[in-house]
């Protein structure tokens, strides 16, 4: 867990992550910018965006940040884990919107 984009990138520099769950609203560098940096520096890490603000599949594709899914807040961690398991077993990099998010 990191409080901002710089801390997240520093944490990721020393480790490998399967998934990065990135909030759109971060202090300083926003979540979309962070997602693009993660995509550039850690191509194997899948990116899931989250926010209290809605983002449809069409918008997710349009921002072109490499995110494979959007999960609206608030979310239950158990439901998030179940959603990630359902979307991550293969190499499908198409964006998805989590249940409960309007498309």
| Nearest alpha carbon to residue 13 among 40, 31, 47 | 40
The CA distance from 74 to 77, in Å, is 10
pLDDT tens profile 7-49: 999 999 988 899 999 998 888 888 999 999 999 999 999 999 8
pLDDT > 80? residue 88:
no
- In CATH terms, the fold of domain 5-97 is Rossmann fold (3.40.50)
pLDDT tens profile 43-81: 999 999 888 887 777 777 777 888 888 888 888 889 888
| Nearest alpha carbon to residue 36 among 15, 85, 26 | 26
């Amino acid at each position: 867990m990191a409080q901002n984009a710089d801390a997240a990138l520093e944490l990721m520099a020393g480790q490998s992550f399967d998934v990065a769950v990135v909030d759109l609203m971060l202090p300083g560098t926003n979540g979309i910018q962070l997602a693009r940096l993660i995509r550039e520096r850690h191509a194997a890490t899948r990116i899931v965006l989250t926010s209290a603000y809605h983002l449809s599949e069409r918008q997710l594709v349009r921002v072109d940040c490499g995110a494979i899914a959007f999960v609206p807040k608030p979310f239950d961690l158990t439901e998030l884990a179940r959603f990630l398991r359902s979307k991550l077993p293969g190499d499908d990099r198409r964006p998805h919107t989590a249940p409960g998010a309007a498309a």
